[in-house]
Amino acid sequence: MTLSTDDVKQIASLAYIKIDEDETKAVLAELSDIFKLIETMQAVDTSGVAPMSHAQDVVQRLREDRVSESDQHELYQSIAPQVEEGLYLVPKVIE
Amino acid sequence: MQWEIVIGLEIHAQLSTQSKIFSGASIAYGAMPNTQACIVDLALPGVLPVLNQGAVERAVKFGLAIGAKINSPSIFARKNYFYPDLPKGYQISQYEFPIVEGGNIRIQTGETEKDIRLTRAHLEEDAGKSLHEDFHGMSGIDLNRAGTPLLEIVSEPDMRSSAEAVAYAKILHALVRWIGICDGNMQEGSFRCDANVSVRPHGSEAFGKRCEIKNLNSFRFLEKAIEFEAERQIEILEDGGSVRQETRLYDANKGETRTMRSKEDANDYRYFPDPDLLPVEIKPDWIARLQETLPELPQARRERYVSDFGLSAYDASVLTGSRELSEYFEATVKQLPAQAKLCANWIMGEISARLNKTDMDIAACPVAPEALAALLSRIDDGTISGKAAKTVFDGLWQGEMDQQVDAIIDAKGLKQISDDSAIEQQVDAALAANAQLVADFRGGKEKAFNALVGKVMKATQGKANPAQVNAALRKKLSGQ
Amino acid sequence: MLNDSLKQLAKRLAGKEVSSVELTAEFLGRINQLNPAYNAFITVDAEKSLEQARAADRKIAAGEAGPLTGIPIAQKDIFCTQGWLTTCGSRMLSNFVSPYDAGVIERFNAAGAVNAGKTNMDEFAMGSSNENSFYGPVRNPWDINAVPGGSSGGSACAVAARMTPAATGTDTGGSIRQPAALCGISGIKPTYGTVSRYGMIAFASSLDQGGPMAKSAEDLALMLNVMTGFDARDSTSLQREAEDYARDLEKPLAGLRIGLPQEYFAEGMHADVARAIEQALDEFRRLGAEMREVSLPNSPLSIPVYYVLAPAEASSNLSRFDGVRYGYRAESYQDLQDMYRKTRAEGFGTEVKRRILIGTYVLSHGYYDAYYIQAQKVRRLIAQDFTRAFTQCDVIMGPTAPSVAFDLGEKSSDPVQMYLSDIYTSAASLAGLPGMSIPVGFGEKNRPVGLHIIGNYFAEARMLNAAYQYQQATDWHRRMPDV
C-alpha cells in the first residue's frame, strides 16, 4: 500500500487536525516509513485466529442502576474555556 | 406508472432507568443545564464507562417480547465523529453483536394483519443538546442528556405505506411502554423515529435509492413526512431524475422534508470494539428470570380477546393499545365475564370519549373498573335501561354516593319497570287514550306504533323496559 | 537518607528520627536543586506536599501509620490529581487542574503517602525518550546528554537522581520498563487489570497499565501493595483477593526456571547490553536458577502490531480533547470546525498527531480488516507464544532495551528507530503480562543496562522474588548517579 498526500489530508480531516500544505509532504514521508514497518505483520497467516481485543478473557461487570452522582457543574465548569448560564459555549453549531 | 413505497424505521427508545448507561448521573428530564452531567458524561481525561445493568435488562426484555435472539456475548463499539454535543468524540454504541437480533412485530391496518421483521436492537448512549439561542453568536451546549440509555430498534424495509409505518411505530410505542422499558413520552424525546423511505415501480424487486428522514417526534409527522417524501421521490423519478441518497429533516411547519446539512456528510465512523468495555455476557438463567418478569404481551392478549371473548380484531387491538387500557378492561371483564362485548363497548365508547374530552389518561379515570362492572351488570340484569345507565355513569364520574351504583340508581329513581303486568297496564292505558294512533297503525301507518311506544315511555318517565313495551304493544295490537 | 529503602524510611518515621515534614522538605529541597537541570517534574507544590506531610505526621503520632505513610512519592503527570495541574505532558492540558483524583491517587492518599510532585512525561505517554513533552525533555541523571527513556522518563529520572524515594509510572508498550532500564532503577508493569485505570489519562486502553518505579524490588513490592486492587469505576479492573507482593521476597531461587527466548538474544541487541545481561544471568545461575531455551516466534511482530493497535485506540481516546469543556482552546478561529481543527493542531505535539493519524487511518473504511483486525489476530498469536513458553519456565528474561540510553536528539527525527526502542517490552504489553526491569550493570559511556523479566499472569510476587534475590547478591540497584 502506498499513501498519497490526498490520503494524509483525508485522514487529517477525519481526525479534525488542521494540517498545512507544506506539512503534508513531511507527514506523508514519516507515515510511509511507519507503514512499511507495520506491514511486516500482514504476511502472517492468521486464518482461524480470533481477534484479541482485550488483554484478559473476562466479561463486563454490570453497575447497579442507581443515581450516585450529584450536581457539581460549578466545579466542572470552573476549568472550561467558555461558559454562560451553565452552558458550554462553542462557535455557532450549524445543522 | 404505479409506484410502491418502501419504508424501514429506526426508532430510538429512551430506556426508563434511573441513571445513565455508563455513569451514575440521573437521567431525569428537565434539569438545569449540565447539572446532570458528571465527569464521565463530560468525558474528562481518565474517566471510564461502567455498564448499567438496568439498561441491559430492558434491552433483553425487549428482545424477549419480540421473539428475537439475545446475543451473548454482546459487544460495545465506538462510533467516532466530532460534534460539540458528543463529549468523547465518539458515541458508545453497538456494531457487531448487538444485544438483540431479529424478531418481529405484527401490525394491523384496517382488517389486514402483517408481520414486520426487525433487523436488530442495540444499546447506545444519547448525545447532549446544542442550544442555538444567541449567546453572542455562539451556541450553548447542555450535556444533561449525554449518556442517557437508548435502545435503537431497526426494522427491515417491510412497510409499504405511511399507514403501515404508523401502525408499526404505534405498536412498538405501546410495546415498550407495556413491558415498562420506556416511558414513551414523545414530547420529551423518549421515543424518536427516523424513517428510511424509497420508492420503486410496482412489481420491481430492487430497492430504490433511499432517504433517511430524521427526528419525527409524532406519529402524525411520521405519516406526513413519509407521504411528502414518497411524493417527492416519485416526482423526481417521473421527471426522469434520480433520487440522491441522503439524510433529510422534516420541517413540521412547512410539512416538507429538506436536505440536512449533515454532520455525517461523507463521514467514516471508524467503528471498533470499545477497549474500555468488555464483552457482555447474558446467561440463560438471567434471560429466564427476565422472561418471568414479562407481563402477558399485547399480541397474546389480542388473540385471547378474540378467541375467549369473541371480540372483533379491531376491538381487541384498540383495547390493547396501552397496557393501562388493557388492564382496565381486564379488571372490568373479570367482574362480568359473560358480557365482554358490553364491557368493551363501554370502555371504547363512553369511557374513552369522556377521557378524551377531559384530556385524561385511563390511569386517572375516576370510575373504577369495579364500579363500571357494577353498572354494566345492572344493564345486563335489566335493572336499568342503557339510557338510564348513562345517567348513572355521570353520577359515578362525579363521584356521587361513594360510587355505589345501586345507591345512585335508587337516588335518581332510574330503576326500570320490567314487571309484565305493570307494563301491560301502562300499554292498555295508552291504547285506550290514543284511539287515533291505534286506528292509524291499523290503517298501515307503522310510525304510529313508535308514537305509541313513546306514549308508554313518557307515561312511565322512561323507566319502562322498552323491549317489553314493544313486545306487549305488538301482542295487544295484533292479538285484538 | 536519600538512598534509603522505603522500609528504612518508614522505620525512621516510626522511630521519630525524622518527621514526614522534614523528610518531605529534604526531598523537595533536592528537587529544587536538581530539577532545573533535569526537568523531571512538571509541577512541584511544596505547600500541598507539606500539608499532606503534616497530616501524615499526625497519623504516625496516632499510631495509624502504614508502610508508606509520610513518605514522598512522585506521581506521573498522567494521573488526575484533585487540585493539581494534570497536564499529561501536553499543551492540550496545560491549564487542566483536575477536579477529581485517579483511583491510584486515592490509594496513595488513603495510605498517607505524600505527593512529591507531578513528573514529566512524553506527551500522552507517547514516546520512548521523553523528548515529546510540551514541558521540554527530561535528562538522564547518569549522563545529562542522554535521554531518560519514556514515556515515564520524569519518574525514572526523579528516582534515579534520588529526588523522590519512589514514583508511579504507566506502561503501554514499555513506558515503565524502558526508562527504568535507561535510568538504572527498578520498575514493574503488573498484569493488565491489577492497577485501576480510573483517572489515568488513556493512551491505549487495552494496553495501559500503571505501576511503580523505585530503587529496588522490595520497594516495588511495597508500592504495588498500595497501588493494586479492584476499582469498580474501571470495567477492566480485575476482582481479585488482595495479595502481599512482598510475601515471597525471601524465597531462595533454587529451581527457578528462567526462559531465554532465542528471539531476544538475536541481532539487534548491542554488545554492551548483551555483556551485562549475560553477567546477570550468570548471577541467577549462581543463585540456583536453571536456564531454559524458549521461543516466542511471533514476538518480532510486536512492534508492528503495537503501532496499529495503540494508535487506533489513541486516535479515539484523544478525540475528547476538543477545546469545549476543559483544556486548551485555540486563540483565534473562524467557526466551529476551525476551532476544533486549530485547537487540536496547536494543542497536540508532533508525535501525538502522528499517532492519531496512524490510528485514524488503520480504523478507516477499507483498511480496518487489513490493519486493525489483522493486528488483533497477531496479538493473539503473540499472547499464545507466551502461554506455551510458560509451560517450560517460570519467568522469561532478556534485555529491556536494545541499547543503553541514547543521546538527546539522536532518534527524535526518526520515528521508526524510536519505536524500535520498545522491541523487547511491547510483546508483554500486548499479552497483558507483567513485566519488570532491574538494573544489572553499565554499558557504553557508563550508562545503565536493564534486565527485563516477564512473568505469567499474576506472577508479580515470583518476579519480585527473583529480582530481590538478585539485588541481595548485587549492588547495581544501590548505585547512585553523580548529579
Same domain, B372 and B446: no
Q: Is C409 left (phi over 0), alpha (psi -120 to 50) or beta?
A: left
Cell of B219: 406519529
The answer to whether C126 faces chain A, any CB pair under 8 Å, is no
Domain boundary among B239, B266, B286: B286
Instruction: Give the tens place of pLDDT for each residue, C435-481.
Output: 999 999 999 999 999 999 999 999 999 999 999 999 999 999 999 99
> Do C133 and C122 form a contact (C-beta atoms < 8 A)?
yes
Domain assignment of residue B135, yes or no:
yes
- Put simply, whether B78 touches C (Cβ < 8 Å) is yes
Rounded to the nearest integer, the mean pLDDT of chain B is: 92
Question: Are residues B428 and B331 both part of a single domain?
Answer: no
| Subunit contact B34:A54, Cβ cutoff 8 A | no
**How many domains in chain B?**
3
B310-319, long-range: CB < 8 A, 24+ apart: B310/B340, B310/B341, B311/B340, B311/B341, B311/B344, B313/B108, B313/B111, B313/B113, B314/B108, B314/B111, B315/B341, B315/B344, B315/B348, B317/B108, B318/B348, B319/B344, B319/B347, B319/B348
**CA pair distance C392, C376, nearest whole angstrom:** 26
Check pLDDT > 50 for residue B263: no
Average pLDDT, chain A: 94
Number of Cβ within 10 Å of residue A84's Cβ equals 13
Chosen domain end from B395, B412, B429: B412
Q: How far is B248 from chain C (nearest CA, A)?
A: 22
Q: What is the mean pLDDT of residues C227-238?
A: 98
The minimum CA-CA distance between C347 and chain A, rounded to whole Å, is 10
Q: φ, ψ for residue B124 (rounded to 5)?
A: -160, 170
Tell me the per-residue pLDDT of B3-37, one tens digit each, with 9 for 90 and over.
Answer: 999 999 999 999 999 999 999 999 999 999 999 99
From chain C, the residues in CB contact with A73 under 8 A are none
Domains and CATH numbers, chain C: 1-483 (3.90.1300.10)
B281/B375 same-domain check: no
B330 shares a domain with B434: no
Query: Do B371 and B260 share a structural domain?
Result: no
Q: Which of C440, C355, C456, C446 is nearest to C401 (CA)?
A: C440
Q: What is d(CA C199, CA B110) in angstroms, rounded to the nearest whole number?
A: 58
The DSSP symbol for C460 reads H
- Please check the confidence at residue B264 and state whether its pLDDT lies above 60: no
Subunit partners of chain B (3 or more CB pairs within 8 A): A, C
Amino acid of residue B224: K
Cα dihedral sign, C194-C222-C199-C153: negative
Element (H, E) at C218: helix C217-227
* B291 occurs within a structural domain: no
The DSSP-derived string for B93-124 is E--SS-SEE--EEEEEETTEEEEEEEEEEEEE
CB atoms C301 and A56 under 8 Å:
no
- Indicate whether B474 pLDDT > 90: no
Q: Do B40 and B138 have their domain in common?
A: yes
DSSP assignment of B268-327, as one string? ----EE-TTSPPBP--HHHHHHHHHHPPPPHHHHHHHHHHHH---HHHHHHHTSSHHHHH
In this structure, the strands spanning C290-294 and C257-261 are parallel
Do B281 and B301 fall into the same domain?
Answer: no
For an interface test with B, the pick among A17, A67, A70 (most B C-beta atoms closer than 10 Å) comes out as A67
Question: Can you give the pLDDT at residue B265?
Answer: 52
Q: What is the mean pLDDT of residues C99-112?
A: 98
Q: Contacts of residue B46 in chain C, CB cutoff 8 Å?
A: 79-80, 102, 197-202
Which pLDDT belongs to residue B266? 60
**Lowest mean pLDDT across A46-50, B258-262, B276-280, C137-141:** B258-262
Size of interface A-B (CB pairs under 8 A): 124
pLDDT of residue B261: 59
Residue B33 shares a structural domain with residue B77: yes
**Cβ pair A92:B42 closer than 8 A:** no
Provide the greatest CA pair distance for chain C. 70
Examine the pLDDT at A94 and tell me if it is beyond 80. no
Q: Which of B79, B83, B139, B274 to mutate to test the interface with A (most CBs of A within 10 A)?
A: B139
Cis peptide before C5 (omega within 30 of 0): no
How far apart are alpha carbons B125 and B150 in whole angstroms? 6
Residue B363 within any structural domain of the chain:
yes
State yes or no: pLDDT of B47 exceeds 80. yes
Q: Which has the minimum average pLDDT: B16-20, B135-139, B216-220, B281-285?
A: B135-139
- pLDDT band for position A1 (cuts 50, 70, 90): low
Tell me the shortest Cα–Cα distance from C262 to chain B, in angstroms: 32
For residues B90 and B78, give the distance between their C-alpha atoms in angstroms, rounded to a whole number. Answer: 6
Q: For residue range C8-41, what is the model confidence (pLDDT) as tens digits?
A: 999 999 999 999 999 999 999 999 999 999 999 9
B170 or B432, greater pLDDT: B170
Give the containing element (helix H, strand E) for C347: helix C336-347
- Across the interface, of A18, A38, A92, the residue whose CB is closest to C341 is A18
Verify cis geometry, omega within 30 degrees of 0, for the bond prior to B73: yes
Whether the per-residue pLDDT at B479 is higher than 80: the answer is no
CATH of the domain at B473: 1.10.10.410
User: B174 and B90 in one domain?
Assistant: yes
Of B289-303, B389-403, C329-343, which gets the smallest average pLDDT? B389-403
Query: What is the domain extent for residue B88?
Result: 3-286
Q: C residues 73-112 near B, CB within 8 Å?
A: 79-80, 86, 88, 93, 96, 98-100, 102
Partner residue facing C377 (CB), from A38, A51, A58: A51
Instruction: Say yes or no: B389 and B475 in one domain.
Output: no
Closest partner CB to C206 (pick from A12, A53, A81): A53
Q: What is the CA radius of gyration of chain C?
A: 21
Q: Ranked by mean pLDDT, which of B350-354, B473-477, C119-123 comes out on top? A: C119-123
- Written as nine digits, the cell of C125 is 505517554
User: How much is the average pLDDT of C374-401?
Assistant: 98
* Measured distance CA(B86)–CA(B83) in Å, rounded: 5
CB-count burial class (<10 Å; 0-12, 13-18, 19+) for A9: middle
Asked if residue C397 has pLDDT above 90, the reply is: yes
B393 and B459 together in one domain = no
Decide which of B237, B259, B286 is a domain's last residue.
B286
* A70–C contact, CB cutoff 8 A: no
CA of B237 vs chain C CAs: smallest distance (Å): 31
> Does B420 have pLDDT greater than 90?
no
For a pLDDT cut of 70, what percent of chain C falls above it?
Answer: 100
